[in-house]
Chain A
Amino acid sequence: GENVEQHPSTLSVQEGDSAVIKCTYSDSASNYFPWYKQELGKGPQLIIDIRSNVGEKKDQRIAVTLNKTAKHFSLHITETQPEDSAVYFCAASNSWGKLQFGAGTQVVVTP
């Protein structure tokens, strides 16, 4: 089955700096890679996703890159703001498959 590893487990950044979270996956058949943000006391919410036919995707301050050869993908947050403080999860699945989540990254943005 799929195995997703996520690093780092915690990330502290100064407001305005960039944050990068990295994930690796094991199943070469995986073709869908979403990122979820979880605020305290709430359920995870999708912030961006990428499919295997695309190498990079951007949405305002958030971007995701995918390297299929190396089986890794990353989340980049630029110009971080206090409201970016949350737990971020990466995940991977194949078509109609089960999502496998990483262990999560606690991001703290300090003013």
Chain B
Amino acid sequence: NAGVTQTPKFQVLKTGQSMTLQCAQDMNHEYMSWYRQDPGMGLRLIHYSVGAGITDQGEVPNGYNVSRSTTEDFPLRLLSAAPSQTSVYFCASSSAGGSDEQYFGPGTRLTVT
């Protein structure tokens, strides 16, 4: 099992550009989520999904879109990148939402200039 995979590992964007961060898991987990990690602020939930076709907002959803067309994939879209979105992004999956072990991907380091 590959677990949770994320691409790309690094990305530099100019302000206003759009891009999609990819996330896939091969553990047949229903629950998937996206976090951003900023120094001194821990991990903050952006969006999450409890199953294919179902998504919801987390703590910091503004500027991001998600969709969940399959159990395996949960892409995160930045519509118009801003310097405030410079961060490390982690995708995670679990079998039972927030009350069970989260399996994290290796992260994507995004810089917006």
Contact = CB atoms under 8 A, between A and B. Distances in A.
Most B Cβ at <10 Å: residue of A31, A43, A95, A100: A43
A9 interface: yes
A74 interface: no
A96 B90 contact: no
Given A43-B106, A49-B101, A98 B41 contact: no
Contacts, number: 69
A45 B43 contact: no
Interface string B67-106: 0000000000000000000000010100011111110111
Interface in B6-57: 33, 35, 40-45, 48, 50
Contacts of B4: 43
Contact of B106 (A42, A95, A100): A42
Interface in A1-26: 1, 4, 6, 9
A31 to B, nearest CB: 7
B27 to A, nearest CB: 14
A43 B90 contact: yes
A101 B102 contact: no
A43 B107 contact: yes
Interface in A62-111: 89, 93-104
Top 3 nearest A-B pairs by Cβ distance?
A43-B104, A93-B98, A96-B97
Given A94-B98, A95-B97, A102-B42, 15 more contacts: A31-B99, A41-B106, A41-B107, A43-B90, A43-B92, A43-B104, A45-B104, A46-B101, A89-B42, A93-B98, A97-B98, A98-B48, A98-B98, A99-B98, A103-B40
